[in-house]
Structure 1
Amino acid sequence: MSETRYAPARGRRTPRGAVRAATAVAVVLAVAAGGSYAAGIGPFDRGADAPDPAAAAQARAFLADWSAGRLPSAAGRTTRPESAERVLRSFTAGLDIGRPRLTAERVREADDGTVSVPFTARMPIEGLGTWTYTSAVPVREQQDGSWKVDWKLSVVHPRLSGTEKFRLDREETPAREVTDRDGTSLSEGRHPSLTPVLARLRGGAGAEPRGAVHLVDRATGKVERTEAAFGGEAGPSPAGPVRTTLDAEWQSAAEKALGEAGGKNAALVALRIDDGEILALANSPATGFNRAASGTYAPGSTWKIVTSAALLLKGAVAPDDTVDCPKYLTVGKEFHNVETSEHRGATFREDFTESCNTAFISLRGKLGDRELGDVARTYFGVGQEWHIGIPSYDGSVPVPADETEKAASMIGQGRIQANPLIMASVTATAVSGTFRQPSLTPGNEDTTTTRPLPREVVGHLRDMLRATVTDGTADVLSGLPGEIGAKTGTAEVSEEQDNNGWLVAHRGDVAVACVVEEGVTGGGSAGPVLRSLLSSAPADPS
């Protein structure tokens, strides 16, 4: 198997047989639902009068730990660990905050020797929306020469203090029944993974749940100001059930299948290829953040579907062309394949089925810097605004900052971001040729504009996806009924975390995608999940 981890050129070897390093291509720290981040070099480069880079590194590590939910580790980087952990925990739990997205800005140095790293916080509040604000992480040098976050309440939010705190107030909305496509009632008891989705839908199709984050006096509880408000003006009480595109049987099969993730954070989506209707949307843990539709992950080698489409569209390569797959390839840093495998004299089809990173990276010169993002947007709808019936993250494919990042982008790393909803849709588009906006409720507005893939390109993609099951890294799905095509993916996260495992597949009129956080490999972690789903799911629904 040749799923990729890309590593620095140093010959250092880390546990689990792969080198993991923070990507030195972005100038912004972007920590998201999958807990991933990229450590930038631009604004943190040390000039003659610049702050000690260890100070900025400590601030970035604190933000990364906080975002990923590693609160003891985040608190341990501060001058008051016990107080910091207690406050961070009560802040996120008390305000129903999921995975924060924390974006670091340019480092600053104060006259008193404190180094400050401003950041933008995007706090997803369950069932309401995202609270966005700015704050800063002050870091002070300790007597032993190390740097620690100078802990104070204002690190969390500038207005948090010993006399004022935040309170989340929700407005109750009339409880409404939510049903699947056939009118079967959906509930948290029968389908616990739908808990965050059902809470959103019960406000009514198109209605926004209402609530606010208030700054209140700690002693009296008096509201001092409203920090964030969610939902519009209260309208008439909705009536009747909310009908979704979900299929109760597929949803049950999806939730059962996530049991194969071994207790790790995971998510999957199943949708119809011919119209984009979502049949199942499941998360583990069931009542937590909606990773399936709102997560932000590097898609790893599953993204080679889009990269292959871009190369085939341009005529830059054909499936039977020889594209060598060496163990290593250096583009600013050393890239290699999982277990440093190689396939000398391999065809492009074999590079795809064996998920050879070095072969794909060697073709980067065939595409312009903007071309991969343009193809993703124009043919696959990635990065356009989707209206699926609930909030969703619709992907990002930034223009690479340099050749190293361009190389990483070819294999779904760098700053490319996706989630299972996006990758299920990418798979559906690849095998049908036409992007169809995914939907969870009927009648959603569609503002996307895309073009169909040429029939020849679709044929090649279908052939390569099928070969990946019969002869490649997705053989975990071989032997199942139906003509299944698939693509595995392994995505690097951070120096402290194992890789995320990915698998996308299609069978009949259904496309599926699964991510398992810290699953190490796609076939080994997401593979059993999708095998369970496709083994127990019913026939394609009408």
Structure 2
Amino acid sequence: MTDVAPLTSPDRRPTRKGPRVVVAVGLTLALAAGIGYAADLGPFDPGPPIPDPEAIKQARAFLADWEAGHISRAAAQTSSPEQAERVLNSFTAGLDISKPTLTPGATTVGDDGTVTVAFTAKMPVTELGTWTYRSALPVRKQDDGVWKVNWELSLVHPNLSSTEKFRLEREDTSGPEINDRNGDALSSETSPSLGPLIPQIARGSGAGPRGAVQLVDRASGEVKGTEASFGKKSARPADRPVSTTLDTTWQSAAEKAVASEADGKDTALVALRIDNGEILAVANSPSSGFNRAVSGTYAPGSTWKIVTTSALLLGDAVAPSDVVDCPKYLTVGKRFQNVEASEHRGATFRKDFTASCNTAFISLRDKVGDGELGDVARKYFGVGQKWDVGIPSYDGSVPVPRDQTEKAASMIGQGRVQANPLIMASVTATAVSGTFHQPTLTGGTDDATATTPLPREIVAQLRELMRATVTDGTASVLADLPGEVGAKTGTAEVSDDAPNNGWFVAHRGNVAVACVVEKGVTGGASAGPVVRSLLDAVPDAPS
């Protein structure tokens, strides 16, 4: 007990001073240990310094202004505005670069407090391709406390300096002639939608233009290195034309249809052969710029019910004669409704399909697994697999729903389901033939897809439902056309304050067609006349 006596006297209670001393000593030891651990990156390591949000904000603002072409505003956010403006204006001179894309990346903090924001630059070089490189922005706090991009030439590109710059060299090669399936020459003069596609077709065939961005000495012009190369040497003779699957008759009719029947709205259309996936026509309005028909990303709306119906029929979850009520509204996390709040009480599933009843389809969501729509789309329709069309394409996405609300939306082609006219023309062709054929624009492309044919009885039911949609449903705009025409309409929500996109898919003979009209409100009223115009002008697919 003698060891305790100094702290606990036998003739009095312990005072509060004792414990205070013990705690203080313990805390001191713990702090000392913590400092030791921190020095050795032990359990008390605070981690890397956290960058000031204002520094990151300044870097992102600089990149956004540079990307948008607001050069003076971007330069004003640097430590040397005059020099920055001069360099940013001259950097792309002679390089034929259109609008760049500048994407911020990782952020680090240096020992001197400099915040460095990495970024990726994508510089589109006209008719050649995209020059992609990585650089970084140093951001420092100025004497007045404001963060600025610390100007230096290397932030524009790591190899840009006071002695070296960039130069674009194009090889003197004339583009090849691009022909349709019959050997007739195609041109943007007669088919405006093909203007952006022809260079892509040429590049895809290995016969496109070639060139390079080179690093050169500012004084002598001596080449110091090659930053990016475009195009490739081709074994194809220079005077040998590139053949495509396009058909001038179909292409001309498609161009006329999107120009005359879409009321000036942005529109895209694809027509292809059902038996082999060969693309007969690709039309966009406006014709210049982005190829929304093949590379667009849209919610397909109720045209996607072709895939949803396939999943339900494959799982024996419903039959066309089954009664599936179609109320005006159905709430699954949010309120869903039919177009114009229509309803069909006591409707059969056949009626639900032909009237495009959203609430009926959503009510069947528990009949399919959460990932089943995506599985069916991929396995039977090739959607989401990698397609080799002959030009850049977007091949669709059907993610597993994150919740029941999103699953409900997926049943009617909303949520995160994405497609475009090429995909939906292919979906239509697969539904009515039973076999997926990878779409192609140039023929002879690689096909890495793997799909399973739809059962014959499912194909027969899909064909009957699509035919009934023309004779008795929302696709009646095609009812007086000759032949066994089948179709499906679609209305796809974009946002709460924007008009819906209108969709329409159809098949006749050996041709499947898909069309989207942005802000078209309803598919039958907007995209329907476009498809009708095309099918009315061209009787059948070429042999």
TM-score, with length taken from structure 2: 0.72
In structure 2, what is the equivalent of residue 194 of structure 1? 194
Residues 451-479 of structure 1: CA deviation (Å, up to 9, x unaligned): 11001110111111111111111112121
In structure 2, what is the equivalent of residue 280 of structure 1? 281
Superposition pairs of residues 211-360 of structure 1, within 5 angstroms: 211=211, 229-232=229-232, 237-259=237-259, 260-360=261-361
Letter in 2 for 1:516: V
Distance 1:483 1:203, change over 3 A: same
Residues 477-511 of structure 1: CA deviation (Å, up to 9, x unaligned): 12111111111112222355322211110011100
Contact 2:202 2:208 in 1 (8 A): no
Superposition pairs of residues 31-430 of structure 1, within 5 angstroms: 127-129=127-129, 171-203=171-203, 205-207=205-207, 209-211=209-211, 229-232=229-232, 237-259=237-259, 260-430=261-431
Q: % of aligned pairs identical?
A: 64
Superposition pairs of residues 501-516 of structure 1, within 5 angstroms: 501-516=502-517
Cα distance between partner residues in 1 of 2:496 and 2:480 = 37
Residues 173-209 of structure 1: CA deviation (Å, up to 9, x unaligned): 3332222111122112111211122222335734465
Cα distance between partner residues in 1 of 2:166 and 2:336 = 46
In structure 2, what is the equivalent of residue 520 of structure 1? 521
In structure 1, what is the equivalent of residue 476 of structure 2? 475
Cα distance between partner residues in 2 of 1:129 and 1:212 = 10
SS in 2 for 1:200: helix
Contact 1:216 1:222 in 2 (8 A): yes
Cα distance between partner residues in 2 of 1:341 and 1:207 = 54
Structure 2, unaligned stretches of length 5 or more? 1-49, 78-83, 111-115, 138-148
Cα distance between partner residues in 2 of 1:261 and 1:531 = 12
How many residues are paired up? 475
Letter in 2 for 1:482: G
Residues 339-392 of structure 1: CA deviation (Å, up to 9, x unaligned): 222222111111111111111111111111221111111100111111222222
Distance 1:329 1:229, change over 3 A: farther
Cα distance between partner residues in 2 of 1:322 and 1:224 = 74
Cα distance between partner residues in 2 of 1:117 and 1:494 = 33
Cα distance between partner residues in 2 of 1:98 and 1:531 = 37
Q: CA RMSD, aligned part only?
A: 4.7
- How far 1:125 moved relative to its partner? 6.5
Distance 1:97 1:302, change over 3 A: farther
Rg bigger for which structure?
2
Superposition pairs of residues 421-500 of structure 1, within 5 angstroms: 421-495=422-496, 497-500=498-501
Residues 288-334 of structure 1: CA deviation (Å, up to 9, x unaligned): 22221121211111111111101111111111111112222222222
- How far 1:134 moved relative to its partner? 7.8
Cα distance between partner residues in 1 of 2:409 and 2:66 = 26
Cα distance between partner residues in 2 of 1:251 and 1:514 = 14
Contact 2:199 2:208 in 1 (8 A): no
Letter in 2 for 1:467: A
Distance 1:127 1:428, change over 3 A: farther
- How far 1:273 moved relative to its partner? 0.6
Contact 1:488 1:503 in 2 (8 A): yes
SS in 2 for 1:458: helix
Cα distance between partner residues in 2 of 1:278 and 1:204 = 16
Contact 1:98 1:125 in 2 (8 A): no
Letter in 2 for 1:246: L
Contact 2:206 2:231 in 1 (8 A): no
Cα distance between partner residues in 1 of 2:430 and 2:286 = 29
Distance 1:459 1:212, change over 3 A: farther
In structure 2, what is the equivalent of residue 5 of structure 1? none
SS in 1 for 2:512: strand
Structure 1, unaligned stretches of length 5 or more? 1-48, 138-149
